[in-house]
């Protein structure tokens, strides 16, 4: 399942999926910017059939944070 | 949503496209009162897919006022062809957006006129400072009202106030350069709850949600089609299972599905949509494999048939190859294949035409005929910025054309035929009535067009009021009716000795009957009156204007470097079968 998340990220930002891990963030991935982050959230919401809260989306600083939110929503991605 | 339609696709694709050498160029500027990331990327990709190299300018966040007011701003330096000013209700109304309850009824009109003046002032400043078209979005009428079900009768109704502002905005369309896009129509189509995403609004001031940005840019592409002259001119239709349900050759006149039954209604509705397009200037043609007599009987006599023989500018009902038929239709109507849209229910035919004639737009018609009407109403390929009188008359003009062809075939000898035609050419000056059509001719004429310079209305208008230019057009009529304004020329008076032909064109449906020679004689005669010695002209070859290639040589112009020059002391051959009416 982690794989699926990485794939979405790699598709939205158009980067190789082996460049994606839990520490990936706008700081170390220049293709990730404040705007296409919204597009990423759209894609994740559709794929995992969930909705982020406003608080949650503000909290996301790196890929690992997304996983924490999944856990909170009871979505098992490991 | 398919991958090719989501915003991620456009954002990534925008990074890879590179300008091509040939191809149409377009400069687009975006101004907005909210975040519009993703707009320009999507527009560049969509343009690229249609063969247009689009470069964009995006004003900084909420800086549209400053950009418009400052004559030296980046916006003006960019010199856009089209500028989109994307306004939104929240921004324009401020706190009134939430409640107008505190406003007494008498102040309503003050609010309305104040808001309209604000928008009007910046639009006017822009049009004074720039030659660009300005597309301003109308305001969205919110779904919610604090007055609830009583909103309709409350004088401070938000919806009513916004409607009144919008009505005023649409009035501005009467001016040359201002165009109002009905944004509310876009929201009605997809729904406010989809387009407005509170999370994106609160966190990023995004007022059109990221998911719907590609849909919105699709809407703006309508202007791109119209401004770049990519509008489709003709719809070519199959018959069986396209205009009626069933197969006439098998089911017979009484059993095809057309009329008051579920499937029949779908085809009647589709035909009504086609008729409406036909009435405003889109030509219709038939390309069908059938026995001519069986099929034409339906068109002539079926009680539920909406489109009749006279609605079709060209009819090919035969057992010949569909691609060959399309080529013949293109030739007979003098309309390029790339100006044609083909409707055929058979996927094999769709594929075959797509492969053989990639220029033709093939509509991906599904098996389900109930979708046909929706498909045609969602097409954006028929947009023109302004529908002219010529557009609404076009269909009957082509009918005249059909009858001319019949006469030509009957008479046999072409010169004899021309004499029978009683052609009259009326020379008209550019004025407020003819300028929209002159501009349209420069935008749409491809074949008999010596320089293929495209001019918007305001440019033609500027030329016509300049002392250094002559802008005239010709209205052509004959025994079969009025062809409308079909030719135009723009002359640049270089000095006391020499005039330069900047633009010289004739609509392809009139080509070859001597009107082009009459137009050139008109120029030469006028030049002699002004004591001009030389007329200098240029032929700029394009992929399409080969029919005009030898025109200057034929009329006695001499080649000098890249130009064709006519000495006005020489005589020019003048067709005698045409009567000229001058409106000096």
Candidate CATH numbers 3.40.720.10, 1.10.240.10, 1.10.1200.10, 3.40.190.10; the one for domain A2-72: 1.10.1200.10
CATH class of B234-377: alpha beta
Q: What angle do CA A48, A50, A56 make, to 5 degrees?
A: 115
What pLDDT, on the 0 to 100 scale, is given for residue B175? 64
- For B15-35, what is each residue's pLDDT tens digit? 999 878 767 899 999 999 998
- For B416-426, what is each residue's pLDDT tens digit? 889 888 999 99
Tokens 């500018």 sit on residue: B313
Q: pLDDT > 90: what percent of chain B?
A: 72
- For B442-462, what is each residue's pLDDT tens digit? 998 999 999 999 998 889 999
What pLDDT, on the 0 to 100 scale, is given for residue B176? 57
* B7 → chain A, closest CA residue: A39
Report the DSSP beta bridge partners of residue B524: none
Structural domain spans, chain A: 2-72
- Asked if residue B1 has pLDDT above 60, the reply is no
Supply B134's token pair.
């300005």
Chain A residues with CB under 8 Å of B200 CB are: 38
* A42 → chain B, closest CA residue: B211
Other Cβ atoms closer than 10 A to B82: 23
Q: What angle do CA B36, B37, B40 make, to 5 degrees?
A: 90
**pLDDT tier at B491, thresholds 50, 70, 90:** very high
CA–CA separation, B82 vs B102, rounded Å? 40
- Asked if residue B319 has pLDDT above 70, the reply is yes
In what side-by-side order are the strands of the sheet with B234-237? B312-318, B283-289, B234-237, B340-343, B361-362
Q: Is B238 left (phi over 0), alpha (psi -120 to 50) or beta?
A: beta
Q: Which helix (H) or strand (E) holds B268?
A: helix B262-279
B4 touches chain A (CB under 8 A): no
Among B14, B36, B196, B203, pick the best mutation site for testing chain A contact (most A Cβ within 10 A): B203
- For A51-69, what is each residue's pLDDT tens digit? 999 999 999 999 999 999 9
Q: Which part of chain B has CATH 3.40.50.1110?
A: 3-227
What pLDDT, on the 0 to 100 scale, is given for residue B178? 85
Question: What average pLDDT score do residues B209-215 get?
Answer: 96
What pLDDT, on the 0 to 100 scale, is given for residue B542? 92
Q: Which helix (H) or strand (E) holds B274?
A: helix B262-279
The ranges of chain A with pLDDT < 70 are 1, 78
CB contact under 8 A, B204 and A34: yes
Task: Tally A–B CB contacts below 8 A.
Answer: 39
In what side-by-side order are the strands of the sheet with B52-58? B52-58, B24-32, B82-86, B133-137, B178-181
Supply B575's token pair.
């067709």
* B11 → chain A, closest CA residue: A36
Supply B373's token pair.
């009407």
Q: Is B240 helix (H, G, I), strand (E, B) or coil?
A: strand
CA–CA separation, B46 vs B223, rounded Å? 13
Chain B residues with CB under 8 Å of A35 CB are: 35, 37-38, 204
* A12 → chain B, closest CA residue: B8
> Closest by alpha carbon to B446, among B359, B563, B542?
B542
- Asked if residue B186 has pLDDT above 80, the reply is yes
> Closest by alpha carbon to B238, among B198, B270, B281, B193?
B270
B206 touches chain A (CB under 8 A): yes
Pairing of strands B534-537, B563-567: antiparallel
Q: Which helix (H) or strand (E) holds B55?
A: strand B52-58
Helical spans, DSSP H, in B63-146: 64-69, 74-78, 89-93, 108-129
Torsion (CA) B188, B36, B70, B130 in degrees, nearest 10: -60
- For B142-183, what is each residue's pLDDT tens digit? 988 888 888 888 877 888 889 999 998 888 766 657 899 999
Pick A12's closest partner by Cβ from B8, B200, B204. Answer: B8
Residues of A at the B interface (Cβ-Cβ below 8 Å)?
11-14, 34-36, 38-40, 42-43, 52, 54, 57-58
Q: What are the strands, taking DSSP E only, across B410-512?
A: 423-429, 469-478, 481-493, 498-506
Supply B301's token pair.
């006599």
Rounded to two decimals, the ipTM of the complex is: 0.93
CB contact under 8 A, B11 and A11: no
- For B557-584, what is each residue's pLDDT tens digit? 999 999 999 999 999 989 999 999 976 5
Question: At CB < 8 A and 24+ separation, what contacts does B166-169 make?
Answer: B166/B138, B166/B139, B166/B141, B168/B112, B168/B116, B169/B116, B169/B119, B169/B136, B169/B138, B169/B139
* B210 → chain A, closest CA residue: A39
CB contact under 8 A, A35 and B204: yes
Burial of B34-60, coded b for 16+ CB within 10 Å and e otherwise, reads bbbbbbbbbbbbbbbeeebbbbbbbbe
Supply B23's token pair.
């191809």
CA–CA separation, B265 vs B369, rounded Å? 10
Q: What are phi and psi of B502, to 5 degrees?
A: -80, -40
CB contact under 8 A, B210 and A54: no
B199 touches chain A (CB under 8 A): yes
Enter the pTM of the model.
0.79
CB contact under 8 A, A39 and B6: yes
* B214 → chain A, closest CA residue: A39
Residues B243/B293, Cβ–Cβ less than 8 Å: no
> Closest by alpha carbon to B84, among B45, B24, B138?
B138
Report the DSSP beta bridge partners of residue B535: B499, B566
CB contact under 8 A, A54 and B199: yes
- Asked if residue B218 has pLDDT above 90, the reply is yes
**pLDDT tier at B534, thresholds 50, 70, 90:** very high
Distance of CA B486 to the CA centre of its chain: 17
Residue A12, min C-alpha distance to chain B (Å): 5
Residue A74, min C-alpha distance to chain B (Å): 21
Question: What average pLDDT does chain B have?
Answer: 92
Chain A residues with CB under 8 Å of B8 CB are: 11-12, 14, 36, 39-40, 43
Residue A24, min C-alpha distance to chain B (Å): 18
Q: Which part of chain B has CATH 3.40.50.1000?
A: 234-377
Pick A54's closest partner by Cβ from B11, B203, B210. Answer: B203
* B204 → chain A, closest CA residue: A35
Residue A61, min C-alpha distance to chain B (Å): 15
CA–CA separation, B172 vs A64, rounded Å? 53
Question: Is CATH 3.40.50.1110 correct for B3-227?
Answer: yes
CA–CA separation, B269 vs B281, rounded Å? 19
Question: What average pLDDT score do residues B503-507 get?
Answer: 96
Q: What count of residues does chain A have?
A: 78
Pairing of strands B178-181, B133-137: parallel
Q: How many CA atoms lie within 13 A of B540 on its CB side?
A: 11
Among A39, A46, A55, pick the best mutation site for testing chain B contact (most B Cβ within 10 A): A39
Name the fold adopted by B412-582: Aminopeptidase (3.40.630)
> Closest by alpha carbon to B29, among B135, B120, B128?
B135
Burial of B465-492, coded b for 16+ CB within 10 Å and e otherwise, reads eeeebbbbbbbbbbebebbbbbbbbbbb
Dihedral sign, Cα of residue A54, residue A58, residue A59, residue A61: positive
Tokens 């067009």 sit on residue: B449
CB contact under 8 A, B203 and A58: yes
Chain B residues with CB under 8 Å of A57 CB are: 199, 203
Chain A residues with CB under 8 Å of B6 CB are: 39, 42-43
The radius of gyration of chain B's CA atoms, rounded to the nearest angstrom, is: 27
CB contact under 8 A, A57 and B202: no
Supply B86's token pair.
């994307």
B136 touches chain A (CB under 8 A): no
CB contact under 8 A, B210 and A38: yes
> Closest by alpha carbon to B452, among B490, B494, B485?
B490
Pick A43's closest partner by Cβ from B8, B38, B204. Answer: B8
CA–CA separation, B544 vs B336, rounded Å? 9
User: Tell me, what DSSP letter sits at residue B380?
Assistant: -
CA–CA separation, B438 vs B456, rounded Å? 9
Q: What are phi and psi of B359, to 5 degrees?
A: -70, -30
- For B374-391, what is each residue's pLDDT tens digit? 999 999 999 988 888 888
What pLDDT, on the 0 to 100 scale, is given for residue B316? 97
**pLDDT tier at B55, thresholds 50, 70, 90:** very high
**pLDDT tier at B4, thresholds 50, 70, 90:** low
Residue B37, min C-alpha distance to chain A (Å): 7
């Amino acid at each position: 399942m982690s794989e699926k998340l990485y794939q979405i990220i790699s598709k939205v930002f158009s980067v190789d999926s082996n460049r994606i891990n839990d520490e990936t963030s706008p700081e170390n991935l220049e293709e990730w910017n404040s705007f296409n982050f919204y597009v990423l959230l759209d894609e994740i919401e559709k794929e995992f059939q969930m909705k982020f809260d406003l608080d949650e989306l503000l909290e996301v600083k790196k890929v690992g944070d997304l996983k924490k939110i999944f856990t909170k929503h009871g979505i098992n991605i490991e | 949503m398919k991958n090719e339609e989501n915003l991620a696709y456009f954002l990534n694709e925008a990074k890879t496209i590179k300008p091509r050498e040939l191809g149409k160029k377009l400069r687009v500027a975006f101004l907005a009162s909210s975040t519009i990331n993703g707009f320009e990327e999507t527009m560049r990709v969509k343009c690229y897919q249609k063969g247009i190299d689009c470069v964009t300018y995006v004003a900084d966040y909420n800086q549209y006022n400053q950009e418009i007011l400052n004559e030296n701003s980046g916006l003006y330096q960019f010199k856009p062809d089209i500028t989109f000013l994307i306004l939104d209700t929240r921004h324009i109304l401020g706190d009134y957006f939430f409640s107008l309850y505190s406003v007494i009824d008498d102040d309503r009109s003050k609010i309305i006129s104040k808001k309209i003046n604000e928008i009007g002032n910046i639009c006017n400043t822009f049009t004074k400072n720039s030659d660009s078209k300005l597309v301003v979005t109308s305001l969205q009428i919110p779904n919610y009202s604090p007055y609830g079900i009583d909103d309709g009768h409350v004088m401070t109704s938000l919806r009513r106030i916004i409607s009144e502002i919008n009505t005023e905005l649409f009035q501005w369309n009467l001016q040359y350069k201002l165009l109002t896009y009905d944004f509310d129509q876009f929201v009605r189509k997809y729904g406010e709850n989809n387009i407005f995403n509170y999370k994106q609004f609160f966190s990023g001031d995004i007022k059109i949600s990221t998911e719907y940005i590609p849909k919105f840019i699709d809407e703006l592409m309508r202007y791109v089609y119209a401004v770049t002259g990519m509008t489709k001119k003709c719809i070519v239709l199959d018959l069986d299972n396209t205009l009626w349900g069933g197969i006439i050759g098998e089911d017979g006149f009484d059993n095809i599905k057309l009329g008051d039954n579920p499937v029949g209604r779908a085809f009647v509705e589709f035909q009504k949509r086609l008729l409406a397009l036909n009435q405003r200037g889109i030509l219709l043609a038939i390309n069908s494999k059938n026995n001519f007599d069986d099929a034409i009987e339906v068109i002539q006599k079926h009680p539920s048939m909406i489109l009749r023989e006279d609605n079709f500018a060209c009819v090919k009902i035969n057992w010949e190859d569909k691609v060959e038929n399309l080529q013949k239709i293109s030739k007979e109507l003098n309309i390029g294949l790339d100006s044609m849209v083909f409707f055929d229910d058979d996927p094999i035919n769709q594929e075959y035409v797509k492969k053989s004639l990639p220029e033709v737009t093939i509509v991906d018609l599904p098996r389900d005929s109930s979708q046909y009407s929706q498909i045609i109403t969602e097409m954006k390929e028929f947009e023109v910025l302004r529908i002219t009188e010529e557009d609404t008359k076009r269909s009957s003009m082509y009918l005249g054309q059909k009858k001319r062809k019949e006469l030509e075939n009957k008479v046999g000898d072409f010169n004899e035929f021309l004499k029978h035609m009683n052609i009259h050419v009326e020379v008209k000056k550019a004025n407020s009535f003819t300028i929209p059509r002159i501009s349209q001719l420069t935008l749409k004429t491809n074949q008999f067009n010596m320089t293929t310079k495209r001019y918007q209305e305001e440019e033609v208008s500027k030329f016509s009021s300049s002392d250094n230019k002559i802008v005239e057009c010709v209205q052509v009529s004959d025994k079969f009716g009025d062809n409308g304004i079909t030719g135009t020329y723009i002359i640049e008076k270089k000095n006391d000795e020499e005039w330069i032909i900047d633009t010289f064109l004739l609509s392809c449906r009139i080509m070859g009957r001597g009107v082009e020679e009459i137009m050139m004689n008109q120029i030469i005669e006028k030049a002699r009156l002004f004591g001009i010695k030389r007329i200098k002209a240029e032929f700029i070859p394009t992929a399409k204007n080969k029919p005009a290639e030898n025109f200057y040589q034929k009329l006695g112009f001499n080649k000098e470097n890249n130009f064709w020059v006519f000495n006005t002391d020489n005589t020019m051959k003048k067709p005698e079968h045409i009567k000229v009416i001058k409106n000096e």
